[in-house]
Structure formats: C-alpha cells, structure tokens
Amino acid sequence: MAGNTFGTLFKLTTFGESHGIALGGVIDGCPAGLVIDEAFIQSELDKRKPGQSRITTQRKEADKVEFLSGIFEGKTTGTPIGFTIYNTNEKSKDYDHIKDSFRPSHADFTYEAKYGHRDYRGGGRSSARETASRVVGGAIAKLILKHYNININAYVTQAGKLKLDNPYTFYNLEDTYNNPARCPDEKMAQQMFDYIDEIRKEGDTIGGITTCVVKGCPIGLGSPVFDRLEADLAKAMLSINATKGFEIGSGFNGVNLKGSEHNDEFYTEGDFIKTKTNNSGGVQGGISNGEDIYFNVAFKPVATIMKPQNSIDKNGKNVIVNGKGRHDPCVLPRAIAIVEAMAAMVILDHLLINKTTTL
Amino acid sequence: MAGNTFGTLFKLTTFGESHGIALGGVIDGCPAGLVIDEAFIQSELDKRKPGQSRITTQRKEADKVEFLSGIFEGKTTGTPIGFTIYNTNEKSKDYDHIKDSFRPSHADFTYEAKYGHRDYRGGGRSSARETASRVVGGAIAKLILKHYNININAYVTQAGKLKLDNPYTFYNLEDTYNNPARCPDEKMAQQMFDYIDEIRKEGDTIGGITTCVVKGCPIGLGSPVFDRLEADLAKAMLSINATKGFEIGSGFNGVNLKGSEHNDEFYTEGDFIKTKTNNSGGVQGGISNGEDIYFNVAFKPVATIMKPQNSIDKNGKNVIVNGKGRHDPCVLPRAIAIVEAMAAMVILDHLLINKTTTL
Amino acid sequence: MAGNTFGTLFKLTTFGESHGIALGGVIDGCPAGLVIDEAFIQSELDKRKPGQSRITTQRKEADKVEFLSGIFEGKTTGTPIGFTIYNTNEKSKDYDHIKDSFRPSHADFTYEAKYGHRDYRGGGRSSARETASRVVGGAIAKLILKHYNININAYVTQAGKLKLDNPYTFYNLEDTYNNPARCPDEKMAQQMFDYIDEIRKEGDTIGGITTCVVKGCPIGLGSPVFDRLEADLAKAMLSINATKGFEIGSGFNGVNLKGSEHNDEFYTEGDFIKTKTNNSGGVQGGISNGEDIYFNVAFKPVATIMKPQNSIDKNGKNVIVNGKGRHDPCVLPRAIAIVEAMAAMVILDHLLINKTTTL
Amino acid sequence: MAGNTFGTLFKLTTFGESHGIALGGVIDGCPAGLVIDEAFIQSELDKRKPGQSRITTQRKEADKVEFLSGIFEGKTTGTPIGFTIYNTNEKSKDYDHIKDSFRPSHADFTYEAKYGHRDYRGGGRSSARETASRVVGGAIAKLILKHYNININAYVTQAGKLKLDNPYTFYNLEDTYNNPARCPDEKMAQQMFDYIDEIRKEGDTIGGITTCVVKGCPIGLGSPVFDRLEADLAKAMLSINATKGFEIGSGFNGVNLKGSEHNDEFYTEGDFIKTKTNNSGGVQGGISNGEDIYFNVAFKPVATIMKPQNSIDKNGKNVIVNGKGRHDPCVLPRAIAIVEAMAAMVILDHLLINKTTTL
C-alpha cells in the first residue's frame, strides 16, 4: 500500500517526478468499448497546463499525453491503459540552491526524513506536476460519465480574501472558462485576476477555495459505513497538493443551524423524490440521493514565494532560502481541473461498485 | 469493496444494526504481544455511551464488549480479534411509524433506494450506534500508540453558535472530560451544557465542531501521493455519521493568508528540526513532520427532532413525520470518542506501513 | 493485509481459534434481497462437521451458526453479515502436553516464531476448525449462485493410494453424499471407508485428492493478467489447511501431451460456442469459457498421528510428542465441503466483478 | 480490481499488448535507498527474451527497459518506479488471418466474449509478452532479496515426457544456465534440447514442469489464514500464461504417504531449529519455517502449432486455423525467468508485511 493507486474498480496508478524523464500512469478497470476522444482528454490537460495566462506559472510544458496500451482502433479494450507525459521543459539548475535546504512549508524535509533519498529537483514527486496524470484519469472517467449524463464543474469561489457571495446555483457554471481566473462571475473574475497579478508582482502568493458541483449523479452511490461517497470525495480532495480542507453541503457553516432549519424535506415531483433544500449536499447516510452534489476545497497559499525566508539545511544549519524558478502566485485557476478529475474518478468508481449491490 | 472495512495493515471490519441482535467487528493486523487492557477499552466505550448526562440520549445501553478470539492469556496473538456488543435496550416499537416513511435528512430514503430492502428500526445500519465498534478498534489502536508515546485528544470546540475563541494550544486538553459538554474551557462548557439542554427542551437539535490533536506523532507517516496522512484522516472523519467537513492546520481560514504569512519556518532545537508556526497542521507533502497534528471536524445538527416535519412515504405520498425515541440534542459530546478512535486507527496504520519504507 | 479476509467484492473475514470462545466472521458485499435459507446453510456446515461417521474425528461440535446482522425479515439488506459459531466441546486439557512442544508438520513452531505468543490449544488459529466460518461464507455464495444456475460439486477422488480411474464426467456427482467416504463410486467408496478405518486403527493417517467441478459458470469470469480465474481458485485452495497442490483441466498430466493433442477445438452447438475436448478445464487466458470448470486439490496426510514422534520443545530440547485428542485419520471426506465453499466464493466474486467490465 | 496489479506492499501494475506501442508497468512500494543495478535487470530480461536459441521463438525483441521515475542518482527514492519496454519487432500482418477466428486453446474467444472488443494482434494482452514487465518487477525484488541473502532458482525439470529423476537437492542449480534447455543435468539438457527441436520441426509443441527453489527465506513469512505463503505462491504461478498446476513440497505425490512417513521431525542444529525431512516444502501452517521452499509449476503445451486446426470464427462458422508467426515449441526454457520473478515478488511482499507483525 505504497499510496500511488487511487480507486477500487476504476483504478489510477501514477508515477513520475517534476524533473524526471516522464510522468505517467496506468488506468486499470476502465470498461471496454469506450470511444477515446483524445482531443477532449488533451483539452482537460490544457485546463491544468501551466502558462495559460499571466497569473499562472510561465513554465512551458506541452503536457502531451501518449497512450501506450489498452486502446485499439480508437476504443478501450478493457485492458490497462498505460500512458506517459514526457517532461520537456525541466530547468533543473533552478533547484541546485535547494539541494540541501528545506524550503518552508514544502515537502523537502518530510521526504528527506521519510525516504532518506529524494529527487530534490522541482519538488520531485511532491510537485503538483504529478497531478497531470490524475487529469488523464479524470478525463477518461468523464468520458464514461457522459454516457450517464453526469456533469462535473468546479470553479474558483474564493481567491485570497476575494470571495463570491452566492451559492453555486446563482451562477452559470459554463462561464467559468470565459476568463483566466476561472470564476463564473465576470466582475469578480476580473477582480481576482487583478489581485492575483498584484500578489505575483509582490513576489507573494495566495490560496483560495474551489466549489465543485456534480449534476446528474444517480441515487445510490456510496458504500457505508466507511466508504461513504463523501468520505471518498474528502480523501480524493485532501490527496491533492496544497489542500487543507473539505466540506460538503452545508459544511462548516451548517453547524450554526438548528436541526429544524437544516433538515431537507422530501417531496415528490412527478415520479421523482426530491428535497426542498439541499443542506445535505446530495448525500445522506453516505449515499447519493439524486440532488446536486456540491462541496468546497480549501487550498493554502502557494509555498514558493519570491522572497527570502529563514530555514535550515540538512545539517541543521540556518540558511536563507530564496525563491527561484517559475511558480504560480495562486494555484486555484489551474487546480479546478484537478478537483474535477478526482471527483470524476470517485463518482465513476462508485457507479461501478453500485452495479453489484443487488441481485 | 462493500465498504465495511477500514485500514490497510491494521484493519477494522464492522457489522451490526441499531436494533439487531448485536454489533461487532473483526480487528485484523493487530501486532502480537500487546497486553489488552480491557478496563481501558471499556472506558473508551463509556465515553461514547448514551445516557452519560441530561444532554445525551437516554437510551440505556451497557455497550459491553466481548472478545471472542485473538487474545490469549491477556495478550494479542497476531490473529484476528473478533468481538461483539449485544444490543440490550432496543425499543423497536418506537420505529413502526417510520417503517414506510423517509425521515428528512436521514438515510431512510437512500438505503431504501440503494438496497431495496432495509432494517428500518432505529436507522438500522445507518445508525451511529455502529460507531461503538469503531471505538473498540480505536481503543486497541490507542493501546499500541501508547507504546510510541502518541496521544490523541479531541474536544468540543463549537456547539451550535457557541464557539471557543482560542486555538487548542491555549487549553489543557486533560480538562475535556471534567464536564458533560466535553469542552476544556470550564466556563464555555457550562454555557454549552445550558444551551444544549435548552435546545433539547425545544425538541430541536444543534451541530458543532470538534478539534482533534495528535501529539507525539513521529516524522514520516503518510504515503503520498494518494494516501497522504491528511487524506486518510479526512476520509476517516467524513466516514463518521453526520460529519460535513474536515480541515487540517490552517484549514479554510488559511486561504486568507499570504504565502509569506502562512509558511512555517524551520529551525533547530537541539537535535530536532521544528517549525516556528504550525499552519501546516503537522503534515507537509502528505507526511507528518513531527509537529502536533490538529484538525477540525464539522457535525451537522442531529436530523431527528421532536417536532413534526413534512415528508413522503415509500409510495410518494405526503406524510407528517413526528420525532419519537430517545435521541441526542447534540452529538458532539459523544462524538469526540469516535473522532479519537478513527484518528488512532489512521495513525497506527501509517505507523505500520512506514516500517516498510526503507531497506 | 493481515490475511484474514478473502475476496474483493464478496468478502469474507474470519476470526476464531480452535479452543477459544467462538469462531465467526463477517460477510461484506453480499447483494441485498437474497432470501437466507438457514436450513441450507446448516446442512452445508453439517457436511464439514466432525463426528459424521467412524472415519472422522469424534469431537462433538454442534457447529451452529448464529447470524447477528445484515439479515432482516429473512432477507439480506446489503449490509455486512456478522456471524458466530460458539465452541462447545473444547477439551483444552488434551493439549497441555504440547504447550511447549512443536508437533511435527504442524504450525506450532511457525506460529511461535512469527508471533511470539500463541494459543496452543488445539492448534489455535492454525486449526482447520477455522474453516467452519468459510463454509458459512460459501453457503451464502452458493445461495446466490443458485440464482444463476451455477452448481459446484466436490468429491474424494483419491484417498491414500486408492484412486478413482475415471474423470469426473464418468460419475453421478449427486452420489457423493450417499456414503461417508464422499466418493461417487459406490464400490470405491466402500474400499476407501475400509482403508481409512484401518489406518485409523493403526493410529496413522493418510492424505488424498479431491476433484471439484463447477457447472453452469457463465463465459467471461476472470480478470487477467493477475486475477485470472484459475489463479484465484489456486490461491483459494492452497489457503485451506493441509493442501499441497492444485491443478486445473489437464493439470500436471497435460505436460505429457503435444499441443496438437491438447488443444480444445471450438465448434458451435446451436447458438453456443463449445469445445470438443476440455483440457483447458473451463478457463482460457484466465477467463471462463463456458465449459465445466474442474480442478484437483491435493491434501497431505493429517499431521496428528496416534504414535510417538521425535521433536523438540521451545528450548530446543528433544522431546517425544504423543498423539492425543480426537482427530481425523483422513480429512478428505470433510474437506470437500470446504473446497466447494472456497470455489463458490471465488466464482461469485468474479461474477460480481464481471458486471463492471463493459459500458 | 481489474486484475493488473500484483502484491500488497510491493506492488507491480503492468500494462501493454503484444503488438501495441509498448509494454510497461509501475512498481509501487519499493523501499527507498536500493541501488538499481540496471545490468542485472537487463540480464534477467535476457533470460526470458525470445531468440536465445533454436528452440525458442525467433521473434527479435530488444526487450530494453527504460525507467522513467522513482530512481535518482542510481538509487530508489521510495516513489513509484514507472518503466516502459517498447515493442520493436511486431509483425502485425502475421495476425490478420485470426482477426475474426478463435484459435483453439488461446484466449481469443474468451477475450472477445468478455470485453466485446479486443486487440487480436499476437494475442494482444493475453500474450505472454506481457510477462516481460513481470521480470522487471521480479528483478528489482531480487535486488532487495539479495540484501537478505535469499536466492531463488528455477529450472526445467520436465519437458514433454522427458523428466529428471531426482529432487532438486541432487543438482547444482547454478548449472541451469549452462545450456539452452535450462536444465541443471547436462545429459538431460541435451536430450531435452534435441526433443524440443524435433517437436519444432514437426510443427508441434510440448509442455513441461519447472521446479523453483527459494533458499535463505527467513522463518515467519506468510499471513494465515487466507494469505498463506503457499497460497500467494500458487496464485502467482497460476497467473502466468499456460500454467495448469502448482504443488509445493510433497505435492500430489505426498498423498501416497502416511502421516508417519510424511511428517517432518524437528531437531536442533546449533542455535537453529531444523526439520530432518522437508515434505512440507518450507511452509507449515502457511508460514515459512526456514527450510528450503520448493515447488513445481506445470505448463501446458504451447497452443500455437504449425498445423491446420478446425475452429470457428466470430459468426460461428467453421474455419481452418493455420499456425503462422514465430512461436516457441516449448515455453519452459524461457518461463523459468518468469517463475523466479513472480516468486521473488511474493517472498519480498511477505517480508515487508512481516515487519509489522509484532510490536
């Protein structure tokens, strides 16, 4: 259980370091007969790709995925899908200065302590560059979810202190990709863009919150008591670099309500059973109830800043760590692609598991 | 992958319904040679037991665990530990009125939809009564963690709108069990008690937040990229009934800080590498860094209220659901035992996994 | 991964020692809505129960299973099925003499070396008494397989040197339980009975071979490359106490044939694709092909003999170990129930997995 | 659980089809700090490589492994090791004739039936070409086992009807690679070579048996009751293409012995506890006892023969299938590398698991 496989029936195993030869992975358990839309997969990767605008890192990576197996004549065969994404623009020289130093709030120290031997270049395995492989897995999951009319949309709901006032139902989520801040509210998107750009010029960074919405999820997904749908979503989200929190439905604010205010009343709408409110966030007892699933994910401010910081080196000596390299002042605009990818894999996995629940 | 097993090397599998014959479970992977302190295990169960004070449910359950295997002459043998907790005080009659109705924000509807056939009495498998088995697993995990001087303490940091102002470092966590509200601040504990009691009289319920602190966790636990320590903690917490959110370290509030404010500087203290602040919450890159691990868990208000609510029955007809039975106005005082138990199992599991990381 | 759980989607976890309080287990992943035929389950247990005839151990055990959860109004609910089988006839005194000694070809030494602390009474966890729990899991699996018209029959094909001459197709497998030797050939059954009885009087033991046949298995079960159907069957069989070998289809004898003799030609019979011969044993490329699945399992002679044997004790001193207690001179007549149970669980597990193979 | 991952703590996931772009895999859980001896790994691949002599297939494949991650400055970092082996000599044209036909005793039919869509070229995923990836995993496992002085040697003990008369203890296993038949007895090796060559000229094929011996395995490996060491070995071996049987220690022949003949007496040799005989094959109660572990694996005759065979096509019409392409008349000389690789991974996995057994 070395930690690099995600999922139970639809399984993604990833490999690769930031400045190694290649990233990649294996998708095992993808149902046979799926038409692989490579353009769609690449477009998903592009949503996460660096260099999309002034407010993301200028590192240039093609992030071109190559499939090595599991697809024949354009369709999946049910056998494992191996893929690679070669690293093309690694500037390892940028990292010589941290070879022996531990950057604050990075994983340099913990990897060194745990493994004894680490690839320090660009954070190595701890770099968010690894998440490109997740986006490939998520893109294929999305292709399957389309067959079930399940849609997943994430957007930036908070960047630093700038925060949308309304819940997701207020916005047209299709507008998210109209702007580089990835916020469906045009005015706020511009404010976020300007703010992130200002932070970038300061050499500082900010964090933020993304909201993710799953529409069309069938009733019945989730395997209580431990593999509740929200538990698997929480794990998926906290497995993404830089995340510090997850909440579903009413989340942390729900604790301010009384039961009589918080409970979601059932009613019927034609043949369907619905709830009048959705504080549950689409899950009850760990199982999807057919309402929209929505949740928030908190990302801390990016650890790499362009300012000198006090730290220590391997020998415990005090050092000054200076920021170098090409980094994001705020990961949120790129991170939503990863949040969607992980959510897609969780939903698909439970969709497959659920096929075996009854006789 | 039916969802009732937790853990990788230290594995707990649970079974049992609220009003069935017995709850219980199997603990597999418990190292051999552990002295089983049954009094300690029972005391952990008592922390979760109903009927502890006026502000918890008055259902009377002995919650007496019986071990059936895996222990010989008072010590574990490395073989699986089977155990049962017989239900003694089930009043199934209390539930006839909901046999065919779906209580708002309960799992009645989703279980019915998923499985087609459910034990409706007291929520059946979806009842938090199931968590008694988790406390047994957690208690045994804690016995092992004691060998490593790892301590885990959870407390109630918010009950409804009543909220502690200070971080955990401000309180003496040993004071938590001095009062029925399970809050380490005496004055706030009294306020919480009074408030919960008032809510109880109203026939309503509230939610709340628990903070959990792990002290003494060694450096190096966690298996990136997917099985990060915080990812497994998040899953563990969101697998508990009624939880809606998880945050570690700076959590959702951390997004308001800049990187230069949020980063935790390293320094040396004797032979130890420490951080000046701990916004990371004891984990960096998914791996424990030796600092305190602390996180919050949000619980929604209890779904069962003593007020009439609109809902529907199996046939989609409108019904009024009335609250009956013996329920908690606020689960927090009892829930902290469950939070600790789940945290203990996560930490132990990673402790065992970490033994295999290097040659 | 402590080794006491079997299966992927239909999972059995067992616990219990030979002379502990109880055996038992948890079945997780059993589809909801299955009518539980308790009489059938008990009849399966009775097939494995000691004391069935003069040629099996005279230990008297009721082997009465009690279900604690997961069943409501006679049908499964999709939640875990916990069960216990209390030990009623343990004579622990019989084992004082081996408390500190290692019986030849038993697990006393390896358990002591591995775990450091063991329940020596009756072999503890290493006793085949544990397999009663497997029979419960297998019986429930069989109830589901009946819905698919899949039948599993095992019989004794060799006891010591006495061996049936013909393949399984020659016999009426329904005749197996007409005699205590569990051999479908009446004449050979009598010879086996007499031979085992003679061996019993000598205070010695013999081994044997069981053949197991699965009829009605649908095409498509098995998950190459590692979880081939025959690989999972092999593991299942070698996980049974005292087994030393597994072969499927032509098995070890198949190596004497040339490819031109061994290959199974395809032909059509109405709408069905069949093979003229079945050297493949019903699996090709790790996947069932619709033909009968048949395999052999070799059991070594029972290790406990009623004769003095040289051995050593914990301190490495020479000792004489004398056989005591009530033991089987040959496990085969009881073992076929276990072989069937394990096979049923493997087939069912792959049946469930296979529901997720295509879109 | 799509079947392409092997192992629990040391995990190999493979991908790739016979005539696709590349084979490859991911090794997760390899301890950090291991010096990667690439020459050794390549030499292991060469043992399995086609074209080694006249009696193996003449398909020319470089079988050159490229490592993409997990290794830095020549040592493992504890992160996943991704690798590829590009296919260079695929002659897909050779397979047009079987695009729509089902070759007897191949996996064409079962893959078609299970997945609905298959890569028919060269058997696609069902080709033994996939096992090259296993040899990479096994080679790395062997590098770790060397640190523990554990050695694994397999050899050809039977080819068709030609069979070595003596047990493994009679031969010098270092002699195995002195000849292309991979048999440690020089005279028999020549006979086997001649026989296989003759079979090749006939256009026919044969099967055989390999014996594998593990020396130096520590006491205590194996996780009863289900993950017994021999159970995991059995699964590993039956997961290899064309295998039909597995036996450990006395195996199928052991059933002819009485308990008094079969039991392995314990004695002490200095500080070590040993057994006088080793019918157990190095495992007792599912756990290694420190003696040599030895087992046999039966391989059926190769299904592809150079003779016309009757079969059917996708539409159920009768067809004649002619053998084309470059194939092995007997897989045994190449298969022993695969047997060793799988054994190495099983032993290593249990070695890692065993680190967590006691406090």
The domains of chain A are located at 5-354
- Residue A90's pLDDT is 61
Is C182 labeled as ligand-binding? no
H/E element, D198 = helix D186-202
- What percent of chain A clears pLDDT 90, i.e. is strictly above it? 89
For the segment(s) C5-354, the CATH number from 2.40.50.140, 3.60.150.10, 3.40.50.170, 2.60.40.10 is: 3.60.150.10
Beta-carbon separation of B115 and A358 below 8 A: yes
pLDDT tens for B110-127 read 999 999 999 999 899 999
CA distance A70 to chain D (A): 7
- B274 in the Ramachandran plot: left (φ > 0), alpha (ψ -120 to 50) or beta? beta
The first and second tokens of residue C325, run together, are 């207690």
- Residue D324's pLDDT is 75
| Residue in C closest to B86 by C-alpha | C68
- Residue D61's pLDDT is 80
- Residue D195's pLDDT is 98
Q: How many CB pairs under 8 A join A and C?
A: 43
Nearest to D94 by CA among D59, D61, D125, D129: D59
Set of chain C residues whose Cβ sits within 8 Å of the Cβ of A352: 356
Report residue A311: phi and psi, to 5°: -160, -165
Q: Average the pLDDT over each of A43-52, A278-287, D104-113 and give the range with the smallest value.
A: A43-52
Count Cβ atoms below 10 Å from residue A25 Cβ, excluding itself.
Answer: 32
CA distances from C128 to A101, B78, B328, C52, C66 (A): 57, 17, 46, 16, 20
Q: Which residues of C82-99 are buried (b: 16+ CB within 10 A; e: fewer)?
A: bbbbbbeebeeeebebbe
Name the band, by pLDDT with cuts 50, 70 and 90, for residue C15: very high
Residue D11 is which amino acid? K
pLDDT above 90 (res C133): yes
Sheet with D81-86, edge to edge strand ranges: D5-6, D11-15, D22-28, D81-86, D65-67
Nearest to A3 by CA among B236, B11, D8, D82: D8
H/E element, D244 = strand D243-248
H/E element, B83 = strand B81-86
SS3 B113: helix
Mean pLDDT (whole number) for B255-275: 96
The first and second tokens of residue A300, run together, are 């801390």
User: What secondary structure does DSSP assign to D208-222, as a single string?
Assistant: EEEEEEEESPPTT--
In the annotated binding site of A for FMN, the residues are: 125-127, 241-242, 285, 300-304, 326
Question: Whats the size of chain B, residue-wise?
Answer: 359
Is the Cβ–Cβ distance between B265 and B276 less than 8 Å? yes
Beta-strand ranges (E) seen in chain A are: 5-6, 11-15, 22-28, 65-67, 71-72, 75-76, 81-86, 151-159, 162-163, 208-215, 243-248, 266-269, 272-275, 283-284, 287-288, 293-299, 309-312, 318-321
Whole-number Å distance between alpha carbons of C246 and B29: 28
* More confident of the two residues C95 and A105: A105
The first and second tokens of residue C215, run together, are 């009829």
pLDDT tens for C80-116 read 999 999 998 766 666 777 789 999 999 999 999 999 9
Name the band, by pLDDT with cuts 50, 70 and 90, for residue A324: confident
The first and second tokens of residue D280, run together, are 């157990």
Count Cβ atoms below 10 Å from residue C256 Cβ, excluding itself.
Answer: 17
Mean pLDDT (whole number) for B45-70: 88
Set of chain A residues whose Cβ sits within 8 Å of the Cβ of C350: none
CA distances from D327 to D127, D205, D237, D240 (A): 11, 9, 22, 17
Whole-number Å distance between alpha carbons of D344 and D341: 5
pLDDT tens for A112-162 read 999 999 999 989 999 999 999 999 999 999 999 999 999 999 999 999 999
Set of chain D residues whose Cβ sits within 8 Å of the Cβ of A11: 1-2, 5
- Residue A1's pLDDT is 54
Please name the residues in contact with A190: beta carbons below 8 A apart, sequence gap of 6 or more: A179, A181
Count Cβ atoms below 10 Å from residue C197 Cβ, excluding itself.
Answer: 17
pLDDT above 90 (res C292): yes
pLDDT above 90 (res B93): no
Beta-carbon separation of D262 and C301 below 8 A: yes
Set of chain C residues whose Cβ sits within 8 Å of the Cβ of B21: 66-69
Residue appearing with tokens 């903690």: B233
Is the Cβ–Cβ distance between D337 and D155 less than 8 Å? no
Rg (CA), chain A: 21
Residue A276 CB burial class (10 angstroms; 0-12, 13-18, ≥19): exposed
* More confident of the two residues C100 and A14: A14
Report residue A182: phi and psi, to 5°: 60, 45
Whole-number Å distance between alpha carbons of B294 and C220: 49
Whole-number Å distance between alpha carbons of D75 and D31: 10
Positive or negative, the Cα torsion across A250, A224, A265, B94?
negative
Neighbours of chain B (3+ CB pairs under 8 A): A, C, D
Name the band, by pLDDT with cuts 50, 70 and 90, for residue A98: confident
The first and second tokens of residue D248, run together, are 């450990």
CA distances from D252 to B312, C296, D156, D257 (A): 64, 9, 18, 10
Nearest to C359 among A9, A29, A31 (CB): A31
Is the Cβ–Cβ distance between A292 and A213 less than 8 Å? yes
Is C121 labeled as ligand-binding? no
Mean pLDDT (whole number) for B45-71: 89
Whole-number Å distance between alpha carbons of A36 and B40: 56
pLDDT above 80 (res B58): no
To the nearest 10°, report the CA torsion of C348, C350, C353, C356: -110
Set of chain D residues whose Cβ sits within 8 Å of the Cβ of B31: 356-359
pLDDT above 80 (res A326): no
Beta-carbon separation of B359 and D29 below 8 A: no
Q: Average the pLDDT over each of A47-51, B65-69, C29-33, C211-215 and give the range with the smallest value.
A: A47-51
Q: Which residues of A293-303 are buried (b: 16+ CB within 10 A; e: fewer)?
A: bbbbbbbbbbb
* More confident of the two residues C39 and B53: C39
Name the band, by pLDDT with cuts 50, 70 and 90, for residue C58: confident
pLDDT above 60 (res C203): yes
**Mean pLDDT score across all residues of chain A:** 95
Nearest to B4 among A226, A232, A310 (CB): A226
Is the Cβ–Cβ distance between D353 and D9 less than 8 Å? yes
- Residue B327's pLDDT is 82
Is C48 labeled as ligand-binding? yes
Mean pLDDT (whole number) for C312-323: 92
pLDDT tens for each residue of chain D, 359 residues long:
589 999 999 999 999 999 999 999 999 999 999 999 999 999 999 999 988 888 887 777 889 999 999 999 999 999 999 999 999 876 666 677 788 999 999 999 999 999 999 999 989 999 999 999 999 999 999 999 999 999 999 999 999 999 999 999 999 999 999 999 999 999 999 999 999 999 999 999 999 999 999 999 999 999 999 999 999 999 999 999 999 999 999 999 999 999 999 999 999 999 999 999 999 999 999 999 999 999 999 999 999 999 999 999 999 999 999 887 778 999 999 999 999 999 999 999 999 999 999 88
Beta-carbon separation of A263 and B226 below 8 A: no
- Pick among D144, D350, D356, D358 to test the B interface (most B CBs inside 10 A): D356
Set of chain B residues whose Cβ sits within 8 Å of the Cβ of A158: 255
CA distances from B228 to A102, A239, A244, B231, C44 (A): 19, 6, 12, 5, 44
Name the band, by pLDDT with cuts 50, 70 and 90, for residue B231: very high
Mean pLDDT (whole number) for B79-106: 87
pLDDT above 80 (res A272): yes
pLDDT above 70 (res B153): yes
What is the CA A201 to chain-centroid distance, rounded? 26
